[in-house]
Structure 1
Amino acid sequence: MNSKVEQPRPQNAGDIVKHVASVLLVLAGVFVFYWFSQWPGAIRALAVLAGLAVGLGLFMTTALGAQTRGFLSESRFELRKVVWPTRQEATRTTWVVAIAVIIISLLMAGFDVLIQAAVKWLLGQ
């Protein structure tokens, strides 16, 4: 197992300022996209991507960003352990699921018809 037990550091005022600044940078990119609608779409999209990249970069310098990096690193490590199905196994499983869904939907439709007929009979219609 690759888990490290670490006590989370308390957030200081600098981290909070960085969090606010990173959110403001992302919002500024979105603002540029909508406010400057006369600009070409590619430039507006680049403004959003730039705001997102700089905001994310600033966020990753905080304590919470370090925890996020650690989590993503451990998730990637665990993902390497996964045994993925072959294409043939995935296709067979997909067919089994599709057939099961069809059978269950037909059963439910049959129950619906029976219940509908019973209610009509009880109501005398």
Structure 2
Amino acid sequence: MNTKAEQPKGTNAADIGKLVLAGLVLAAGIFAYSWFGRDGSISSSIRLLGVLAAFVVASAIAAFTALGRRVRNFIAESQFEMRKVVWPTRDETIKTTGIIILVVIVLSLLLGLIDLILKSVILDWLLKLGG
């Protein structure tokens, strides 16, 4: 359990301005990608690098907001929790996968048999009694 005190959820004008600026930088990168791709003078790999640079700059700007700090804390805590996970061995994974495949096959055959029985009962027996 996390014993950290909850931080206030309100956003101030500076954070909103930073997020808007980050959105504008990202939008400008995407716009530049399509604008410079119209005439084909700039290769798509260079245009893609421009979009990636705009994404990095926008992420850096957004990281200095309250939302960015919360996202960084969430990622750090997630990484900490992932270190606690005990992953199965290769042998356990193979055995579990085999059991799951076997159960799926058995249930498929069982449902197919039930479908066949119901079809024969309804179509062959009940409908012929009424006709």
Whether TM-score is above 0.5 comes out as yes
Which stretch of the first structure deviates more once superposed, 55-64 or 9-18?
9-18
Taking the aligned partners of 2:95 and 2:31, their CA distance within structure 1 comes to 48
Deviation at 1:3, TM superposition (A): 4.4
Paired residue type of 2:48: A
Q: In the alignment, what sits opposite 2:93?
A: 90
Would you identify which runs of 4 or more consecutive aligned residues in structure 1 move more than 6 Å? none
Q: In the alignment, what sits opposite 1:116?
A: 119
Q: In the alignment, what sits opposite 1:8?
A: 8
Rg (Cα) greater in structure: 2
Which stretch of the first structure deviates more once superposed, 79-88 or 27-36?
27-36
Q: Residues 83 and 43 (structure 1 numbering): CA distance in 2 closer, same or farther, change over 3 Å?
A: same
Using the size of structure 1 for normalisation, the TM-score is 0.84
Of 35, 45, 48, the residue aligned with 1:45 is 48
CA contact (8 A) 1:3 1:74 kept: no
Deviation at 1:91, TM superposition (A): 1.4
Unaligned runs of 5+ in 1: none
Taking the aligned partners of 2:33 and 2:120, their CA distance within structure 1 comes to 57
Unaligned runs of 5+ in 2: none
Deviation at 1:36, TM superposition (A): 2.5
Paired residue type of 1:31: F
Q: In the alignment, what sits opposite 2:27?
A: 27
Q: Residues 59 and 92 (structure 1 numbering): CA distance in 2 closer, same or farther, change over 3 Å?
A: same
